[in-house]
Structure 1
């Protein structure tokens, strides 16, 4: 049990690393929280710091989710409940990081890293949803919301696992909740479109 508690703590503290903030500061761009949308995630980093920093943030944020869950699968191969709780800890670390006052990102990239381990087939389908919505309407936020909403249903179809369904439901619910300001802007027509 103590090993599991340590893994939960490690997952949280890994997830809590604010990669976008670290990268933009290293690049001499100051505090990303004071620029653009104020979010530390890949989309705001992309808009403020360019393609390379945006992609690097996306990869690192995804890795924060992927690494703890991958380790949990190796350590607890017989317990999807424990694996799911480790996934939740990493995700909550990203969204509510202790290092920067519990004000983190929206969780899309970290959720992606988690889902790549838990249900890679679901990720492929959800990426198709994301790409289709982004191509049709041009909003990263709308594409993220739609993909997040699809994931729990896809996990039910492909994995048929209660613990995996519940953790994906938690993650997707938080992702959508943290996009509430974007939803308001989408409804008012003031949301920024993505420009490659």
Structure 2
């Protein structure tokens, strides 16, 4: 991998990820998403504050960011999973720590899902099944998202093995998503986490 290729993939991924559709959509509806609901600029909070239509729109756009960030290096660089992994991680970091929002941002779940669709759909499918089971049994998006994240390296290990960069992507994503949900984890232990 050339340094110039890595740098380009990182820059495109980060700045693509840094576009906050939650903030854009909420402002379009006259809402400061940082001051409503949980205060998190992500699809779940938009759905909670503005309803399913706008929440699902933000989710789809955030997922598209991840899909593009991981997908274009696969097309341009001959299916190089390493560059695709780097692009997705950069997009998630951009989403979570956006330069446009003073390094604030969402938790990166939708962006992760879009990238995984491009990189390892079978791992994503297993994770989504786990998400659905946990969400419908607990009504907690955060708990479902955390267990979705933890399933990624386990599934990647069995499907792709430890020599594949996608296994390490699963590990990194699990850590990133769990860390981004630390306030939710604290609320869960305190019995104060929001439910749908």
**Shorter-chain TM-score range:** over 0.9
2:113 corresponds in structure 1 to 112
Instruction: Confirm or deny: 8 A CA contact 2:43 2:58 kept in the other structure.
Output: yes
Provide structure 2 residue ranges, at least 5 long, that are not aligned to the other structure. Answer: none
Instruction: Confirm or deny: 8 A CA contact 2:139 2:195 kept in the other structure.
Output: yes
Instruction: Confirm or deny: 8 A CA contact 1:76 1:83 kept in the other structure.
Output: no
CA deviation map 1:144-179 (0-9, x unaligned) = 000110011111112224311112211221110111
In 1, Cα distance between equivalents of 2:11 and 2:141: 31
In 1, Cα distance between equivalents of 2:180 and 2:83: 25
Deviation at 1:102, TM superposition (A): 0.7
CA deviation map 1:87-129 (0-9, x unaligned) = 1111111111111111010111011111111110111111110
Deviation at 1:185, TM superposition (A): 0.9
2:92 corresponds in structure 1 to 91
Q: Give every structure 1 segment of 4 or more consecutive aligned residues whose post-TM-superposition deviation is greater than 3 Å.
A: none
2:174 corresponds in structure 1 to 172
Deviation at 1:78, TM superposition (A): 4.9
Instruction: Confirm or deny: 8 A CA contact 2:73 2:79 kept in the other structure.
Output: no
Deviation at 1:56, TM superposition (A): 0.4
> RMSD in angstroms over aligned alpha carbons?
1.2
Aligned counterpart for 2:23 among listed residues 21, 28, 40: 21
Question: Is 1:187 matched up with 2:176?
Answer: no
Provide structure 1 residue ranges, at least 5 long, that are not aligned to the other structure. Answer: none
1:55 corresponds in structure 2 to 56
In 2, Cα distance between equivalents of 1:62 and 1:172: 17
In 2, Cα distance between equivalents of 1:91 and 1:178: 11
Count of aligned pairs between the two proteins: 193
SS of equivalent to 2:104:
coil
In 1, Cα distance between equivalents of 2:99 and 2:5: 22
Moved more, 144-153 or 79-88: 79-88
Question: Is 1:72 matched up with 2:73?
Answer: yes
In 2, Cα distance between equivalents of 1:149 and 1:173: 8
